[in-house]
């Protein structure tokens, strides 16, 4: 599911810790940081100032990632309000550096979800799964039967027999159901890369936790 687009902002509060380091608030909003700041400041004991913000296609996920990154300096105030004992400029710098990588991860993961839900991918995955299942059934069943018959030397040959049968089943199904499927998947990759503004050399090989754009 694609997240909601919006801002992740950094607010400087009038609070500090015992050493004088300010408490900052990291939040997200689908409106504007200034509008959100007015809501937070209205009626509060101490006003807040907008240090800066970044835009993102998935504001909740990026906010959560920022909270995790600064977890070691988290401070829970009265009423359960969450702050962070940190230099606000450093927090904003982290957001600005992280956002491009986060955006391409989010886009690529969204494209991957569409990719694996497509009929060509499901058909290809089904053929591979059927071939593997056939191999496992022949290998397991044949091995147990040979053990029962005490034909132990045939256990060495059984994987080869099962592999040939599984490969034969896979090849027959591939010929019947996967005609031109590679061309369809290649076209789909191109379409998804264009839709999500992804670099054309990125292959949809799976979810991208920890992925770094090759610039």
Statement to judge: residues 29 and 79 lie in one domain: yes
Q: How far apart are CA 64 and CA 67, in angstroms?
A: 5
Statement to judge: residues 82 and 139 lie in one domain: no
Statement to judge: residues 105 and 125 lie in one domain: no
Res. 168: pLDDT tops 80: yes
Statement to judge: residues 14 and 93 lie in one domain: yes
Statement to judge: residues 10 and 105 lie in one domain: yes
Statement to judge: residues 15 and 104 lie in one domain: yes
Give the tens place of pLDDT for each residue, 1-44. 457 889 999 999 888 888 888 899 999 999 999 998 988 877 66
Domain that holds residue 81: 6-109
Statement to judge: residues 63 and 155 lie in one domain: no
Statement to judge: residues 22 and 93 lie in one domain: yes
How many folded domains does the chain comprise?
A: 2
Give the tens place of pLDDT for each residue, 55-80. 998 899 999 999 999 999 998 877 77
Query: Taking a C-beta distance cutoff of 8 angstroms, is the pair 73, 8 a contact?
Result: no
Statement to judge: residues 12 and 67 lie in one domain: yes
Statement to judge: residues 88 and 127 lie in one domain: no
Chain length of the chain: 215
Query: Taking a C-beta distance cutoff of 8 angstroms, is the pair 51, 95 a contact?
Result: no
Q: Which of 63, 81, 109 is the last residue of a domain?
A: 109
Cβ contacts of 4-7, under 8 Å, gap ≥ 24: 4/30, 4/58, 4/59, 4/60, 5/30, 5/55, 5/56, 5/57, 5/58, 5/59, 6/30, 6/31, 6/55, 6/56, 6/59, 7/32, 7/33, 7/36, 7/53, 7/54, 7/55, 7/56, 7/59
Mean of pLDDT over the chain: 87
Res. 212: pLDDT tops 70: no
Query: Taking a C-beta distance cutoff of 8 angstroms, is the pair 104, 116 a contact?
Result: no
The answer to whether position 187 is within a domain reads no
Statement to judge: residues 23 and 103 lie in one domain: yes
Percentage of the chain exceeding pLDDT 70: 90
Mean pLDDT on 124-147: 93
The answer to whether position 194 is within a domain reads no
Query: Taking a C-beta distance cutoff of 8 angstroms, is the pair 9, 18 a contact?
Result: no
């Amino acid at each position: 599911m694609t997240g909601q687009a919006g801002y992740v902002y950094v607010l400087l509060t009038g609070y500090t810790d015992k050493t004088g380091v300010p408490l900052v608030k990291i939040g997200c909003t689908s409106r504007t940081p200034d509008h959100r700041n007015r809501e937070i400041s209205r009626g509060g004991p101490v006003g807040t100032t907008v240090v800066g913000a970044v835009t993102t296609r998935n504001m909740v996920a990026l906010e959560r990632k920022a909270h995790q990154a600064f977890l070691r300096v988290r401070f829970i105030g009265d009423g359960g309000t969450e702050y962070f004992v940190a230099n606000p400029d450093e927090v904003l710098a982290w957001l600005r550096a992280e956002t491009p990588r986060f955006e391409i991860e989010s886009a690529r993961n969204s494209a991957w979800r569409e990719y694996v839900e497509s009929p060509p991918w499901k058909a290809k995955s089904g053929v591979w799964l059927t071939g593997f299942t056939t191999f496992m059934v022949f290998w397991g069943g044949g091995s147990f039967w040979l053990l029962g018959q005490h034909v132990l030397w045939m256990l060495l040959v059984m994987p080869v027999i099962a592999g040939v049968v599984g490969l034969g089943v896979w090849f027959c199904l591939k010929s019947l159901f996967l005609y031109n499927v590679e061309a369809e998947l290649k076209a789909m990759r191109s379409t998804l890369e264009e839709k999500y503004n992804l670099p054309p050399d990125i292959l949809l090989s799976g979810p991208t936790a920890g992925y770094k754009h090759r610039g």
